[in-house]
Amino acid sequence: MEITFSNKIDNNFSLLVVLASKKSEKNSSLISDKSIKDFVSKIKKLPEFKKQKNFSENFFVNDDKNKLRRVHLLKIDDFKNCVEVEAFSGQKFASFETAKNLNINIISEDINLKNIKNEEFISAFASGFNLKNYSFRKYRSEVRKIKTSIKKLNFICSNFKSAQKLFNEYEKISKGVFLTRDLVSEPANKIYPESFVENCRILAKAGVELEVFDEKKLKKLKMKALLGVAQGSVKPARVLVMKWKGLKSSFKNPLAFVGKGVTFDTGGISLKPSGGMEDMKWDMGGAAVVSGLMYALALRKAKANVIGIVGLVENMPDGNAQRPGDIVTSMSGQTIEVLNTDAEGRLVLADVLWYVNKFYKPELIVDLATLTGAIIVALGSRYAGLFSNSDDLANKLLKSSTYIKELIWRLPLDSEFDKLLNCNIADMKNITGTRGAGSITAAQFLKRFVGDTKWAHLDIAGVTWSNSGTSISRSGGTGFGVRLLNNFVKENYE
Ligand SMILES: [Zn+2]
């Protein structure tokens, strides 16, 4: 889909959408065709248009050349901010996507809302379309070839140059979102630890420094909790470190983002049931968000020092796989009895969290992981779970979440939950053996590896993938977290 901005209608349009302000009676001077212009003006005078808050109707209009044209009149009411505009246009997207190869022209009257300028409105509207348009269909061959439904999208407004400029900024963030969606959508025979790294080479071009730890290096670092998960797979483990040096000062106390990257999770010897196991291709959702976030930050040249680090493994049953009851020594020196090999994400994160905290002394750590099924029981697919040892950090994340509309909900941590992890023959066990509070005890487990550093954990198991789609994504990977954390960095650390 090609998105352009101009002050002229492309007369070959297949659909003309008119974004009409509820206030102004004046007709847009940008519509050159007199018949269409008069028609729009007539509709706007109707009581239906005036009364109906969400007026949105399709019409067929005879233009000056007596040709029948499709025109959609969409009344623009008020929005609190540009994120609301993005969600609104994303929701509208489907209703315009009615045929193949459409050339849609969207013309906007001078819409100056209470808090939003005209060019801000248009660029946000375009961004909502852009985010919603993404689809992952690269494996559809010539046999069932995909024809794009909307080929061209031309936005027409008086201040089109400033709108284009603002849209370019949105586009940088959307590229991060799309990288995340690509990574979670790829099947596990395409994305495994080594190929995940290769897919992230694109970040280097944007100025991110990449460092890859192979098995030899991981052994040297004594990341035995992470390596224990990987030992049943023929695909070797990797850890990918991504550094964005957005400040001229030295790379001291960066912001750290950590992601769980289990590229496929069979459960290991504690094998999962087969129904729905294909969903486990996106058990690397946390790592995908961290990569997408780092890409967005680099593309928009964020003025912050940020480190992203992801632990990449495949969890498979095999003759060499880790067994329930095995005891591993994590990089921190703390020992873990692995009672369930399907509670592997925390084992991977334990070593990566410890590493980043020890070697980079980050100002804060935010980790993301599709960690527990229990979080879906608690919060469904609407909210991600938030856990933190810092009220200040939690509140900053909640503020960005409310603004960006990627919802998170804080759940408690406390020493009584922590005690449930204590184990007789090792320092801790990887599951509690009790039925309750599964997401909380998983977070308590991670907390044992971050010391006193300000830390937050987002359990994104319920929000990484959506079968029904969201206002800004189709069915599939949502990219949840990239826009939220981009805003979090921008608002608090730049
Ligand atoms: Zn698992």
What is the residue type of 74?
A: L
Q: What is the 3-state secondary structure (H, E, C) of 375-423?
A: HHHHHCCCCEEEEECCHHHHHHHHHHHHHHCCCEEECCCCHHHHHCCCC
- What is the 347 CA–ligand 1 centroid distance (Å)? 10
Question: 41 and 99, same structural domain?
Answer: yes
Residue 152 backbone phi and psi in degrees, to 5:
-130, 140
Question: Can you give the CATH number for the domain in which 386 is found?
Answer: 3.40.630.10
Classify residue 435 by burial, with Cβ atoms within 10 Å: 0-12, 13-18, 19+.
exposed
Question: 236 and 150, same structural domain?
Answer: no
Question: 420 and 294, same structural domain?
Answer: yes
Question: 297 and 401, same structural domain?
Answer: yes
Q: Which residues have C-beta under 5 Å from ligand 1, the single-atom ion?
A: 265, 342, 344
Q: How far apart are CA 345 and CA 226, in angstroms?
A: 9
Q: In which element (H, E) is residue 51 found? A: helix 47-51
- What is the 428 CA–ligand 1 centroid distance (Å)? 18
Question: 235 and 277, same structural domain?
Answer: yes
Question: 141 and 181, same structural domain?
Answer: no
Helix (H, G, I), strand (E, B), or coil: what is residue 450? coil
Number of helical (H) and strand (E) elements in the chain, helices listed first: 16, 19
Where do the H-state alpha helices sit in 113-152? 118-133
Number of domains in the chain: 2
Taking only the tens of pLDDT, the chain with its 494 residues reads 999 999 999 989 999 999 988 776 555 678 889 999 999 999 999 999 999 988 999 999 999 999 999 999 999 988 999 999 999 999 999 889 888 889 999 998 878 788 899 999 999 999 999 999 999 999 998 888 877 889 999 999 989 999 999 999 999 999 999 999 999 999 999 999 999 999 999 999 999 999 999 999 999 999 999 999 999 999 999 999 999 999 988 999 999 999 999 999 999 999 999 999 999 999 999 999 999 999 999 999 999 999 999 999 999 999 999 999 999 999 999 999 999 999 999 999 999 999 999 999 999 999 999 999 999 999 999 999 999 999 999 999 999 999 999 999 999 999 999 999 999 999 999 999 988 999 999 999 999 999 999 999 999 999 999 999 999 999 999 999 999 999 999 999 99
- What is the 89 CA–ligand 1 centroid distance (Å)? 37
Question: Can you give the CATH number for the domain in which 29 is found?
Answer: 3.40.220.10
Q: How far apart are CA 146 and CA 488, in angstroms?
A: 37
In a domain, 38, yes or no: yes
Question: 124 and 259, same structural domain?
Answer: no
- What is the 277 CA–ligand 1 centroid distance (Å)? 11
Question: 486 and 445, same structural domain?
Answer: yes
User: In 3D, which of 493, 486, 488 has the Cα closest to residue 172?
Assistant: 486
In a domain, 382, yes or no: yes
The answer to whether the beta carbons of residues 262 and 368 sit under 8 Å apart is: no
* Catalytic residue IDs: 272, 346
The answer to whether the beta carbons of residues 73 and 20 sit under 8 Å apart is: yes
Question: 151 and 116, same structural domain?
Answer: yes
In a domain, 332, yes or no: yes
**362: domain range?**
174-493
* Cα–Cα distances in angstroms (integers) from residue 82 to residues 86, 117, 317, in the given order: 6, 10, 48
The answer to whether the beta carbons of residues 250 and 283 sit under 8 Å apart is: no
The answer to whether the beta carbons of residues 294 and 203 sit under 8 Å apart is: yes
Helix (H, G, I), strand (E, B), or coil: what is residue 290? helix
- What is the 129 CA–ligand 1 centroid distance (Å)? 35
